[in-house]
Structure 1
Amino acid sequence: MVESLKLISKWKFPSPNPKVRLYMVEYFSSGLRVKGLMAEPDDEKQYEGFLYLRGGIKRVGMVRPARIAQFASEGFIVFAPYYRGNEGGEGNEDFAGDDREDAFSAFDLLKDYPRLKDGRIHVFGFSRGGVMALLTGIHRSETSSIVTWGGVSDMHLTYKERKDLRRMMKRVIGGTPNKFPERYDWRTPIHDLENLRAPVLIIHGALDKNVSAEHAKRLEKQLKKLGKSHETWYFNEYTHYFPPSVNRQVVQKLTSWMKSQSRSS
């Protein structure tokens, strides 16, 4: 059954949780056929939407079924785009470039989903997905809330800090920040937060070496400067990845935080 013009096809995918249904989804994004994974509670009730924006690029940081099933089990319809060029999807992923459209189109797909409750959609980004989440909130003003966990906020800073990613970034983005500063600016949402209406929750481990806590601090500083609603949860003892027991606790807390946010007007 095709619920939306944006949705091309949807078929069942093995679920790690008997109380959660998983589906592989193919949908349109800027004319490309892109794929993603959807998770929803195994009943017929309506739930708020949860757009899960993964980190990494290509196989690094790929969407994990257990992770989105975990969020669905907290009472959400979860959709996680793989981004273009992955898992048989058309196009090429370009690290928060044109592939941001895959997040925007995924948001629109959720908005049309029959089981969506009250039109509420929350956006979650992990690592590189933090940039994607902020960009989505900026371009989709009806976003109910945004959570960025260990999230990138400044692509110039990523290039500076992650020497191991420079070769990939130069290839995908087309050069260095010195040569093409505008391309890195375009991928840096903290420059456009004036247009953000959704409340933001920033979660970051102080010992994070993948995405330094400076990303969180820069985002926090700009949100504060603009008078935007935000909250910060810093964890002094953790890195980019939290221990499983702590991770579960934080998931429960952040999903409760999402549900407590008033709908954007």
Structure 2
Amino acid sequence: MFRTLIAAVAATLAFALPAIAASPAAGPADFLSETDCFDATPDYRSWLDSVAQRLDDPARSMPRLQALVPPDTFAFARSAFDCRIVSYESGGHTVSGYVVRPRSWTTQGTLPLLVYNRGGNGAYGKLDSLQVFLKLLPLAKAGFMVVASQYRDADEFGGGDVDDIMRLIDLSLAMPEVDGSRIFLLGQSRGAMMSYLVARRRDDITAIATIGGASDLLAGLAWRPEMERMYRTRIPGYDSDRHAALRARSALHWAEQLPAGMPVLLLHGEADDRVSVEESRRMAARLQQLERPHKLLVYPGDDHGLQRNWRNARTEILDWFERAGERHAGAN
């Protein structure tokens, strides 16, 4: 795994350290709190130690972490990006998340908003300081205001926690840096489900991209019966009507309710052992039936996270968003 991660970070953040002046913090917005992502780890050594301590074997992991994020990459990130850990109110819950942008935004005008929706459930899959380097900073480097919700602790796996993303989008739209006419959703695994649920409720989403996306939880349960324990724990009312609860979270069963002109990119590893590639294939077929703009890319032999093809996948995502943004601008 570390070998793949090293290649991914090196490809996205290994470039010369720019001379960029400090810029003001993102805002204003009604966040309850904002702290710099590196406040708790202001230097390279403290950052390394904090990440290594969360791994199974800190001593053996340290050299690999140093190769994954070398000192110049860490220094570049601190200089080139304004990265903030935020908290905000959503439905009576205090939710945490990330807001990341390139510090050079003042020379570029407003930034399109990219909402990254993570996978996992509960604490599993939560973004951390290493995932900031792997997932969020490369997107901000491409010229986006990147925001990501950790979802509420009382995770309902596509229930009330969808409001956490809705609220974060609305808070982000209050930032002067954000171009509210260009809003993109990138969902990975469970995050694809969350993206579809958000898009169904909004009319301002420009485009969606999904990676190993869950779009049919009913079929997914038949494929991975062990998921039922998590569903029963997370989803309110699951035992009283399992079919209705899973169908309500499955975009395949209500794809016609998605915005008609919103392009959807579906990326999936054919060897994915967490979400069957057939979910993306069936979702693409349904979008085709509805004559909705979409594209399906299946990577033979690749896994749930597209580790073998991550650079290509990221390029596909960024190109998809760029073209969708241009079409949207032309239509207006």
TM-score (norm 1): 0.89
Aligned to 1:223: 287
- CA distance in 2 between counterparts of 1:30 and 1:174 reads 16
Q: In the TM superposition, what is the alpha-carbon distance from 1:177 to its structure 2 partner?
A: 7.5
The residue type paired with residue 257 of structure 1 is: W
Q: In the TM superposition, what is the alpha-carbon distance from 1:185 to its structure 2 partner?
A: 1.4
Q: Assess if the C-alpha contact under 8 Å between 1:57 and 1:93 holds in 2.
A: yes
Q: Assess if the C-alpha contact under 8 Å between 1:177 and 1:184 holds in 2.
A: no
- CA distance in 2 between counterparts of 1:240 and 1:37 reads 23
Q: Assess if the C-alpha contact under 8 Å between 1:123 and 1:146 holds in 2.
A: yes
Q: Deviations over 1:168-224 (max 9, x none)?
A: 111222566894311111111222222322110000011111101111012112111
Confirm or deny that 1:3 pairs with 2:28: yes
Confirm or deny that 1:13 pairs with 2:37: yes
Aligned to 2:320: 257
Q: Assess if the C-alpha contact under 8 Å between 2:96 and 2:151 holds in 1.
A: yes
Confirm or deny that 1:187 pairs with 2:255: no
Q: Deviations over 1:118-137 (max 9, x none)?
A: 53110010001110011111
Moved over 6 A (4+): none
Structure in which a larger fraction of residues adopt strand: 1
SS at match of 1:43: helix
- CA distance in 1 between counterparts of 2:92 and 2:236 reads 23
Pick the structure with greater CA Rg: 2
1:167-182 equivalences in 2 (<5 Å)? 167-174=229-236, 179-182=241-244
The residue type paired with residue 285 of structure 2 is: K
Please identify, of 112-121 and 10-19, the stretch whose mean Cα deviation from structure 2 is larger.
Answer: 10-19
Structure in which a larger fraction of residues adopt helix: 2
Q: Assess if the C-alpha contact under 8 Å between 1:169 and 1:175 holds in 2.
A: no
TM-score (norm 2): 0.72
Aligned to 1:34: 95
1:1-265 equivalences in 2 (<5 Å)? 3-5=28-30, 7-14=31-38, 16=74, 17-18=77-78, 19-45=80-106, 46-63=110-127, 64-66=131-133, 67-85=135-153, 92-117=154-179, 119-174=181-236, 179-197=241-259, 198-243=262-307, 246-261=309-324, 262-263=327-328
Q: Assess if the C-alpha contact under 8 Å between 2:33 and 2:87 holds in 1.
A: yes
The residue type paired with residue 190 of structure 2 is: R
- CA distance in 2 between counterparts of 1:97 and 1:181 reads 15
- CA distance in 2 between counterparts of 1:44 and 1:205 reads 34
SS at match of 2:146: strand
What percent of counterpart residues are identical?
A: 26
Q: In the TM superposition, what is the alpha-carbon distance from 1:162 to its structure 2 partner?
A: 1.9
The residue type paired with residue 323 of structure 2 is: S
- CA distance in 2 between counterparts of 1:178 and 1:137 reads 27
Q: Assess if the C-alpha contact under 8 Å between 1:12 and 1:22 holds in 2.
A: yes
Q: Assess if the C-alpha contact under 8 Å between 1:177 and 1:183 holds in 2.
A: no
SS at match of 2:137: helix
Q: Structure 1: 5+ residue runs without aligned partners?
A: 86-91
Please identify, of 164-173 and 74-83, the stretch whose mean Cα deviation from structure 2 is larger.
Answer: 164-173
Q: Assess if the C-alpha contact under 8 Å between 1:94 and 1:172 holds in 2.
A: yes
The residue type paired with residue 322 of structure 2 is: K
Q: Assess if the C-alpha contact under 8 Å between 2:116 and 2:146 holds in 1.
A: yes
Provide the aligned length of Structure 1 versus Structure 2: 257
